[in-house]
Structure 1
Amino acid sequence: MKFLGLQRRTLALIAVVLPLLFLFIYVALRSGPLSPVAVTVGNAESKTIAPALSGLGTVRARYTYKIGPTYAGRVKLLNVHVGDLVSAGQVLGEMDPVDLDERIDAQQAAIKSAEAALRQSEAKQVFARTQATRYEKLLALQGTSEESTATKRQELAVADAALGAAREDVSRMRADLRALRAQRSNLRLVAPVAGLLIARHADPGTTVVAGQAVVEVIDPNSLWVDARFDQISAEGLAAGLPARIVLRSRRSQSEPGRVLRVEPQADVVTEETLAKVAFETQPSPLPPLGELAEVTVQLPELPAKPTIPNAAIRTVGGKRGVWKLDNEKLVFAPIVIGRSDLDGQMQVEKGLDAGDQYVLYSEKALTARSRIKVVEALPGVSP
């Protein structure tokens, strides 16, 4: 009797445990750690892409004119302020001439004195020539001595030399006067071109040295972006390519541009390629110099090759590749990646053929032994 009761209890326990065990195994295989990994898949398509380069830069002016005196002096006046538009030839300011005007007056007086001395020398030379000619005639008629004629010849030579020296003095003094007037003219700060005044480095009363800039003027039509691109992705960057420029202060709009030139010297520290990107049309209002800008350069379209989104790329064992579905089995296929566009589409040079099926997104990390379940979309992941 006791054995039969024990047997009945055992059978009852087994009847309860077995369904629970089967239920546990079912749940583990369906939704537990042993359940298939949900994945979304895609097919490699052979298509062309138009790659683009993205870089950062700063707004600069191609032409900047630093205007200042050629001689040391003190700023007398400035007629313009930062932000003013100036025209070509406009007088922006003037340096204090100090004693330069008096020196010009003194030089003019000296020239008048030298010109008087020149006229006197010319008169003496004419008289000496007349006398020498008369004595030559008298000598021919034996009306005078050879010594007297030689004396008149010597007087003529002295008069010619004095006249030459007087002329040299006048020429030298006139050249000095022109130099003083040029120096006086250089004290006027004149705009060489029409442009925008961007800086005043000195105020009236400030003493500046020769060559020091008092004001700076730029040509507003010469604005460009001094852009930097990573050398790894800079293949194909060339002058003439179209670009889009987004200024940091105008995130909602972009300006059309064009690559003006690629600098022949790269930055060896940051490993970047430098390029000048010019605006197609002058931005309005003008952006401040030094403002940051994002530059996107559109490269020529590439030939068709197998293309996949960069979200499918995985790294396994130090190699980059994709999980490829081969007869519904997972196989990791190392690939060689080519160029990509800004939408994340990447061309595959080797390792994947057009039409091959690959895993795009997975619920968790995959291995070669993972069981998978293909779904339309993963929760929280956009298709």
Structure 2
Amino acid sequence: MRSRPPAAVRRVVFALSGLSLLVLAACSDKSAHEEAARPVLVIHPVAADHAATAFAGEVRAREESPLSFRVGGKLIERRVDVGDHVRRGQVLAVLDPGDLQAQARAAQAQLAAAEAELGRARADQARFSKLANDQLVSRSTLDAQNAAATAAQGQVNAARAELEVARNQAEYSQLRALRDGVIAARQAEAGQVVAAGQTVFSLAADGVREVAFALPEGMVSSIRAGQPVQVESWSRTGERWNGRIREISPAADPASRTFAARVTVDAPAGALELGQSARVFLPTPGNGGLSVPIAAVQRDNGRTAVFVVDMKTSTLALKPVEIGAFGEDRVPVRGGLVAGDWVVAAGGHLLRAGQKVQPVDRDNRPVTAAASAMAR
């Protein structure tokens, strides 16, 4: 027969049991605290035109002309600088005209000599013609004199053409603007010796402004001239203008392996300045009509999914979705979501399916089931 434990032992057992209950209660309180609803930012999927692929570009003039002298020489004067607005025919730079003017004077002297020789040849021609009529000289002698006069006339014509070329070259010592525009770049400075055809200035003509950007090899086959796009200036973030792709280069750049493209923009006058940075947004094709932020996309055992809040129970569900090509900050959703779903926009890596949450909007206001029903 087993004897009862002493009273002291029973008191110790009771004390340990009470302590265990206190520890369990504390753990239960801690677990309940950990399971408190966590605030999460929720959004509705939006139209997929917000999921456009963005490319960095630069504002350029439609007509950009490299300006150069038609003759070589020493640049003695530069009259404009980068950013200056110029008018058609305005003198931009001047070469030393000394040698060119000397060549023009030499051509003038050669013309005078040729004209003098022509005068002598014609006088001889007239004299020999009279003698031939009196049969005082032979017919062959007259023919030789006629040929000499014809040759002298040719020499005069050649000298006159050379003088015209020399005078033109003397005028070419002044570089003039071909049209109204802005000096976009300068490649030479006063005192420099430049060759004929060497670019001295780059002129951006007044008129239409475009955005130049580069298309990667993987996308050029799906983009075509005339396709609508949107353009946003870095200096005016959030303000977009409609545009169209005007041209795409048929050949890739040998260094970057990208294809140069140009976009015409329906922007108000003065909104785009030369050299500004801009972004070109190309709508992602085949996107299913909806998109979500990239941060909302999660990976679940190799699948793509997003956290969706059940507004009736305020719990999370991990919903598999089919997505398209990633845009700048959004991704198109081709299937798995509807416009009324409340999607967790960020922080999904800290959440789990079935977790209790408190959905809030971007203004940190609670989103309730009633408010969600009214919004629909």
- TM-score where L is the length of structure 2: 0.71
Partner of 2:356: 373
- The number of equivalent residue pairs is 357
| 1:134 to 1:381, Cα distance in 2 relative to 1, 3 A | same
8 Å contact kept, 1:66–1:213: yes
Return the offset for 1:164: 1.9
Return the offset for 1:209: 2.9
8 Å contact kept, 1:71–1:209: yes
Partner of 1:71: 71
Residues 112-149 of structure 1 show CA distances to partners (whole Å, capped at 9, x for unaligned) of: 332232233234334444544554xxxxxxxxxxxx8x
Aligned runs of 1:1-383 on 2, under 5 Å?
A: 3=5, 5-6=7-8, 9=11, 12-13=14-15, 16-17=18-19, 19-20=21-22, 23-24=25-26, 26-27=28-29, 29-32=31-34, 35=35, 49-50=48-49, 51-133=51-133, 135=135, 152-202=138-188, 204-228=190-214, 237-240=223-226, 241-247=228-234, 250-251=235-236, 254=239, 256=241, 258=243, 259-266=245-252, 274-281=260-267, 284=270, 287=273, 289=275, 291=276, 293-297=277-281, 299=283, 304=288, 310-322=294-306, 334-338=320-324, 344=330, 346-349=332-335, 352=336, 354=338, 360=344, 365=350, 371-373=354-356, 375-377=358-360
8 Å contact kept, 1:245–1:257: no
| 1:298 to 1:103, Cα distance in 2 relative to 1, 3 A | closer
| 1:378 to 1:110, Cα distance in 2 relative to 1, 3 A | closer
| 1:268 to 1:23, Cα distance in 2 relative to 1, 3 A | farther
Report the identity percentage. Answer: 23
Structure 1: gaps (5+ residues) = 136-147
- TM-score where L is the length of structure 1: 0.70
8 Å contact kept, 1:48–1:304: no
| 1:158 to 1:358, Cα distance in 2 relative to 1, 3 A | same
Question: RMSD of the TM alignment (CA)?
Answer: 4.6
Return the offset for 1:90: 2.0
8 Å contact kept, 2:54–2:327: no
- Opposite residue 372 of structure 1, the aligned amino acid is Q
- Opposite residue 209 of structure 1, the aligned amino acid is A
Structure 2: gaps (5+ residues) = 368-376
Structure 1 range deviating more: 2-11 or 178-187 = 2-11
| 1:56 to 1:94, Cα distance in 2 relative to 1, 3 A | same
8 Å contact kept, 1:40–1:359: no
Residues in 2 aligned to 1:86 and 1:323: alpha-carbon distance in whole angstroms: 59
Residues 355-375 of structure 1 show CA distances to partners (whole Å, capped at 9, x for unaligned) of: 9978737786566xx653354
| 1:112 to 1:362, Cα distance in 2 relative to 1, 3 A | closer
| 1:315 to 1:363, Cα distance in 2 relative to 1, 3 A | closer
Return the offset for 1:295: 0.9
Residues in 2 aligned to 1:102 and 1:312: alpha-carbon distance in whole angstroms: 77
Residues 336-358 of structure 1 show CA distances to partners (whole Å, capped at 9, x for unaligned) of: 31257777363134xx3659978
Residues 176-213 of structure 1 show CA distances to partners (whole Å, capped at 9, x for unaligned) of: 11111121121122211112234555555543333334
Q: Which one has the largest radius of gyration?
A: 1
Return the offset for 1:162: 1.1
8 Å contact kept, 2:316–2:356: no
